[in-house]
């Protein structure tokens, strides 16, 4: 399902009311009866509701199910996309949508324009007299919209028919299960990202959340899986930093669950150390260096930024040790295979993290903070059961689709 915003600007207020009515009715109906749609839309004219239903069906925002026992419609992923975008635009969290830069089994990634960040507070050193003496005291610089990322969760895209028959936890949600799971996935990602960002972890800045969509800052870097070569000292430093990040997460009560080269971005930052080789010389065009300029080139360090959090779990999870070891082994195997680097240290180990947490008595646990913010254990269990059944978050589960999107 691709995001198609062609009809977005042409929908009338009546169309939005009918589309919202179909969404509301989908909570309890696999196919929302047409009379119920008209009732929930609160339109005085029945003909106006039918006209909007026809418009939405032509735009593939709702769909009529063939061979149904009664006349009704179901909400499509396109309709849910429109409702989320409409809310973002109304709240002024988005200006416009752009191209799709990534497609996986469970989500689509789009470049979007968001309002500029608020201006910094005025300096306290400026006195009223100096402000009044300024030739243009009311003039402010015009701030341009900023590029951001819109992540659209699409858990229903993967084989869901077997889930409905094999799982009883969806017994009362068979009609809207794909919507419900996608909402939970987006809510979980935004909640965890907010907690991690506030705690100082290297993650994108969360900007907004609505339904199955999350708006976050754009990480201007290179995915780890696209890096072809690293010098030994750079590989050693990056490996140590990634292992430290896994341990820091565990000390904060969280395990990523899918800590691999596809969910790690590398930002380049210059330092004052002088070095003659660029660590990303094999990515893109090679840097042309001559003897006179080698001593002047600043050292570029690669700083990891962690992305993708729907599979993140608490350290209190019964299988926390297994997921922790899997995250560690993913990085070990990748560095050995790609960069031919093997650490002399056999750790880190989950038992060491547990011992450290007992000493600190669980102070600063983000898993507790996330649960208190609204993402309950019941939501986490419901989403985890679904993701286990469809293979979301398992090592290598989304490798092919991500690789195809990057080519």
State the CB neighbour count (10 A cutoff) for residue 135. 5
Beta strands (DSSP E) in 104-233 are 107-114, 146-153, 206-210, 213-217, 222-223
Q: What is the pLDDT of residue 292?
A: 44
Which residue stretches of 26-113 are H helix? 34-41, 46-58, 77-90
> What is the Cα–Cα distance from 280 to 285, expressed in whole angstroms?
9
> What is the Cα–Cα distance from 407 to 395, expressed in whole angstroms?
21
Sorted by sequence, the CB contacts under 8 Å of residue 89 that are 6+ apart come out as none
Q: What is the pLDDT of residue 266?
A: 95
> What is the Cα–Cα distance from 92 to 241, expressed in whole angstroms?
37
> What is the Cα–Cα distance from 370 to 376, expressed in whole angstroms?
8
For CA atoms 219, 225, 226, 232, the dihedral sign is positive
Of the candidates 74, 101, 215, the residue with the CA atom closest to the CA atom of residue 156: 74
pTM value is 0.78
Q: What is the pLDDT of residue 392?
A: 56
Task: Please check whether residue 11 is in contact with residue 167, taking contact to mean a CB–CB distance below 8 angstroms.
Answer: no
DSSP states of 320-332 as a string? HHHHHHHHHHHHH
Task: Please check whether residue 367 is in contact with residue 375, taking contact to mean a CB–CB distance below 8 angstroms.
Answer: no
Catalytic residues, which ones? 258
Rounded to an integer, what is the distance from CA 178 to the centroid of its chain?
Answer: 17
| Mean pLDDT, each 10-residue run in order, the chain (407 residues) | 88 95 91 92 83 95 86 92 96 92 87 82 52 47 82 72 42 60 90 93 95 94 93 93 95 92 90 51 51 51 91 88 95 95 91 83 76 67 65 45 36
State the CB neighbour count (10 A cutoff) for residue 163. 21
């Amino acid at each position: 399902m691709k995001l198609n915003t062609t009809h977005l600007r042409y929908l009338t207020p009546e169309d939005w009311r009918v589309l919202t009515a179909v969404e509301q009715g989908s909570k309890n109906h696999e196919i929302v009866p047409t009379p119920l749609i008209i009732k929930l839309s609160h339109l005085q004219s029945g003909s106006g509701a039918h006209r909007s239903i026809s418009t939405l069906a032509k735009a593939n925002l709702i769909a009529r199910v063939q061979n149904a026992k009664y006349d009704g419609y179901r909400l499509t992923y396109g309709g849910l996309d429109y409702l989320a975008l409409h809310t973002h635009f109304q709240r002024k969290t988005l200006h416009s949508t752009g191209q799709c830069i990534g497609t996986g089994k469970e989500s689509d990634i789009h470049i979007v324009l968001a309002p500029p960040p608020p201006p910094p507070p005025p300096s306290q050193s400026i006195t009223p007299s100096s402000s009044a003496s300024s030739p243009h005291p009311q003039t402010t610089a015009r701030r341009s919209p900023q590029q951001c990322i819109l992540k659209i969760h699409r858990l229903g895209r993967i084989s869901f028919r077997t889930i409905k028959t094999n799982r009883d936890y969806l017994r009362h949600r068979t009609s809207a299960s794909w919507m419900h799971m996608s909402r939970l996935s987006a809510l979980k990602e935004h909640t965890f990202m907010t907690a991690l960002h506030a705690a100082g972890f290297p993650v994108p800045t969360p900007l907004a959340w609505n339904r199955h969509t999350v708006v976050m800052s754009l990480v201007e870097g290179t995915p780890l899986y696209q890096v072809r070569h690293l010098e030994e000292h750079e590989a050693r430093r990056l490996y140590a930093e990634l292992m430290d990040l896994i341990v820091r997460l565990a000390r904060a009560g969280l395990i990523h669950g899918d800590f691999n080269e596809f969910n790690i971005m590398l930002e380049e930052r210059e330092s004052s150390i002088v070095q003659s080789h660029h660590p990303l010389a094999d990515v893109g065009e090679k840097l042309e260096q001559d003897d006179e300029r080698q001593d002047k080139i600043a050292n570029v360090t690669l700083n990891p930024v962690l992305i993708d959090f729907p599979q993140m779990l608490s350290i209190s999870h019964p299988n926390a040790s297994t997921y922790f070891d899997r995250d560690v082994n993913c990085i070990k195997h990748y560095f050995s295979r790609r960069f031919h680097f093997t650490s002399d240290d056999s750790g880190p180990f989950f038992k060491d993290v547990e011992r450290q947490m007992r000493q600190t008595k669980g102070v600063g646990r983000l898993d507790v903070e996330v649960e208190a913010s609204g993402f309950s254990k019941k939501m986490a269990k419901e989403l985890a059961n679904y993701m286990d059944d469809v293979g979301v978050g398992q090592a290598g589960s989304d490798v092919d689709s991500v690789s195809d999107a990057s080519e």
